[in-house]
Amino acid sequence: MLDSNVEGVEQSVSTGSLPGWEQVDSLVVASHTRNRACQDGAVADYIPVLAQADPELFGVCVVEVDGGVHLAGDADVEFSIQSISKAFVYALVCEEFGHAAVADLVGVNNTGLAFNSVIAIELNDGHPMNPMVNAGALATTALMPGATPDEQWNAIRKGLSAFAGRELELDQEVYRSEAATNTRNRAIARLLESYGRINRDPLEAVDVYTKQCSLRVSARDLAIMGATLADGGVNPVTGQSVVSAEVCRDTLAILAANGLYERSGEWLFEIGLPGKSGVSGGLLTVSPGKAGIGAFSPRLDPAGNSVRGQQATAYLSRVLGLNIFASQAYAPSERSTNVH
């Protein structure tokens, strides 16, 4: 695997700036107004408690790297973080063990298959492939420091709370509902154990993972967490350094390649930003050096991604100039005449 951490070489970054405060504020409201009437998609029901979600809820939030917060709609309504937690647990594990070790054990490549695929594990000789699918997420959670599952869980909750800038709480109802129906994750963990990819009790790892997915967040929280990744690991609201800039880079690369599962290529093509979805309707997007975007709407597309959240984020990506692949040609007067 290529190693981008070249010792002795000073690294530069490519960032930019957002429009003025009032313009960002009005565009966040516009992203909500334009999409709130959409009725496409359906609420997730494979976890019983998620089927009870109000399908009309819809919130959008943008948090700038200077700490500025822009809200629209139900941005402070709480929901379970679900798979979005994978990104931040991965960041915490990378902070502990480093770039190469975690990449070797968990992997970075897209499976091209569903998030809970067992076939992907078997096709790759037991390798989880990446931390955004359930196999990789379970292997990542099992790596969290702690002598006991309780210690690991406390480390995860503390770490994700630092990203959010407030103490996050466990949703006991969601946890109980998921714990009663997570048989597939238990099977995946047992399979990973057979390949030597989990060195702890696999069922305990599943329980810790289930708890991390059951933490309560809001669209505002997701935007702050995203802005922390956008700001080199410093929470722009609290000023706390949570992880290193190098860990943020690794995490965002993983999200760009794998954050929306088998739709990741389509998402990157259309939106042009690292992102991560959750089946409760949450959607996290990060514009490096600029901002984090959090969206919440429980109606999902067939791949499990928030429909209105995607539409609002697509709008913001375009009007705020966030797409990391977008460029404009220099005007003729700006081009150098020194052609070699």
pLDDT in tens, 16-60: 789 898 999 999 999 999 999 999 999 998 888 999 999 999 999
> Catalytic residue positions?
83, 86, 209, 261, 279
Q: Decide which of 157 and 263 is more confident.
A: 157
Q: What pLDDT is stored for residue 114 in this prediction?
A: 47
Residues 35 and 311: beta-carbon distance below 8 Å: yes
Distance CA 67, CA 31 (A): 20
- DSSP designation for 285: E
Q: Which of 286, 276, 281, 296 is nearest to 220 (CA)?
A: 296
Domains 21-80+217-319 and 83-213 equal at CATH topology level: yes
* Residue 261 assigned to a binding site: yes
* Residue 178 assigned to a binding site: yes
What is the three-class DSSP state of 215? strand
User: Domain locations in the chain?
Assistant: 21-80+217-319, 83-213
- DSSP designation for 286: E
What is the three-class DSSP state of 141? helix
Q: Is the pTM of this model over 0.75?
A: yes
Is the Cα torsion angle 275, 210, 63, 250 positive or negative in sign?
A: negative
* Residue 83 assigned to a binding site: yes
Residue 213 CA, chain-centre distance (Å), reads 12
* Residue 10 assigned to a binding site: no
Write down the CATH number for the domain with range 21-80+217-319.
Answer: 3.40.710.10
Among 3.30.750.24, 3.40.710.10, 3.30.565.10, 3.40.50.1370, name the CATH number for the domain at 83-213.
3.40.710.10
The residue with tokens 């949450």 is: 282
What is the three-class DSSP state of 82? helix
126 pLDDT above the threshold of 60 = no
Residues 89 and 137: beta-carbon distance below 8 Å: yes
Contacts (Cβ under 8 Å, ≥6 apart) of 23: none
Is the Cα torsion angle 254, 259, 264, 267 positive or negative in sign?
A: negative
Distance CA 191, CA 196 (A): 9
* Residue 279 assigned to a binding site: yes
Q: Where does the pLDDT of residue 108 fall: very low under 50, low under 70, confident under 90, or very high at 90 and above?
A: low
Q: What pLDDT is stored for residue 111 in this prediction?
A: 47
One-letter amino acid for residue 262 of the chain: E
Give the largest Cα separation in the chain, rounded. Answer: 69
Q: Which two tokens stand for residue 141?
A: 């959670």
Distance CA 311, CA 302 (A): 15
